[in-house]
Amino acid sequence: MTTIEGAPKANAQRPLSHPWFLPSVREAIDAYACIAVWLAGFSIFTVAPMVASLGIAMTKWDIIADAEFVWFANFARLASDPLVRVSSINTVFISFLSVPLHLIVALALALALNQKIRNILVYRTIFFLPSQMPLVASALMWMWIFNPDFGLANVGLTSVGLPPLKWLFDPSLSKPTIVLITLWGGVGTAMMIFLAGLQGIPEQLYEAASIDGAGSWATFRFVTVPMLSPVIFFNLIIGIISSFQAYFTLIYNTTQGGPGHATLIYVMYIFFKAFQDFQMGYAAALSWVLFTVVLALTGLQFLMARRWVHYEGGE
């Protein structure tokens, strides 16, 4: 077979002008140009306030008077503050109870709404809508439902012969009640993410499992869960981060940390120290401790994910 003189050979490869792991200067310029607006916003509105808050955490500042530099005194104060311990225990209790419960309920709903039945879109909309309800309106609605005098929850209990409960006004029931409230409006987004993950699982895997004689439980355990593990991991990470931060609006509009600090969570204690006691330096120190804890928990989850998260085409 002859080739035209001067024409490039079909199997010839152009030499790379740079190593495969280093982008060219032009590619780097194009990439940074594409993210320039986001990078500027991130630097101004996220990185700069974080750096400033770290500086504030080393001061004694009440907004009105000039800041007094105290180095690490605010961080040392954390160890002797009893409300730091109380709010931390409450946060851990609510988080470690709500996150697994949210995942289980969201996955169960996603499995139910993944069926091919009539009007399935209507059912999906109904179960998703509570997650889009404004948090303040939701809090006021649940305050009415769990009212110990005329709330619907006690009406339902007394109608079946059970004694009424104080719900949010009982120190022993307030945290479980908060978890129930978050369950109603907090599973919608996770449910939709699970549903998208379920619809991305190849049907051939279920057909192969059926041919091999696998039952419903075996198919769920050995096909659905491994293929869905990246989605479970994503919802777990988002759930943990949200549980340490996102329940402020609900608790502030229902119990405000009561009764007797039973629902005082860590992020609410930061708010009280900053905007009620005007101890901005101490509040900033509390915030950095929260950031460190959330970052450590997230990093731990990423390390543990290597054992149980399975990516398609990967290890």
Same domain? For 133 and 67 the reply is: no
- Please, which pLDDT band fits residue 1 given cuts at 50, 70 and 90? very low
pLDDT digits (tens, 9 = 90+) for 151-160: 999 999 999 9
Q: Is residue 6 part of a domain?
A: no
* Axis-axis angle for helices 82-113, 120-128 (nearest 10): 170
Same domain? For 40 and 139 the reply is: no
The CATH number covering residue 282 comes to 1.10.3720.10
Count of structural domains within the chain: 2
pTM: 0.84
Share of the chain above pLDDT 70, in %: 91
- State residue 23's pLDDT score: 61
Tokens linked to 285: 């120190």
DSSP-derived secondary structure letter, 23: -
Same domain? For 222 and 157 the reply is: yes
- Please, which pLDDT band fits residue 231 given cuts at 50, 70 and 90? very high
Q: Is residue 191 part of a domain?
A: yes
Q: Is residue 297 part of a domain?
A: yes
Task: Look up the domain containing 33 and give its range.
Answer: 25-73
DSSP-derived secondary structure letter, 163: P
Given a contact cutoff of 8 angstroms between Cβ atoms, the answer to whether 131 and 189 are in contact is yes
Same domain? For 48 and 117 the reply is: no
Q: Report the distance separating Cα 54 and Cα 262, nearest Å.
A: 30
Given a contact cutoff of 8 angstroms between Cβ atoms, the answer to whether 264 and 86 are in contact is yes
- State residue 3's pLDDT score: 47
- Please, which pLDDT band fits residue 12 given cuts at 50, 70 and 90? very low
pLDDT digits (tens, 9 = 90+) for 172-220: 999 999 999 998 888 999 999 999 999 999 989 999 998 988 888 999 9
Report which residue type is found at 204. Q
Q: Report the distance separating Cα 311 and Cα 227, nearest Å.
A: 7
Same domain? For 49 and 104 the reply is: no
φ/ψ (deg, to 5) at 22: -115, 125
Same domain? For 141 and 248 the reply is: yes
Mean pLDDT of 23-47: 89
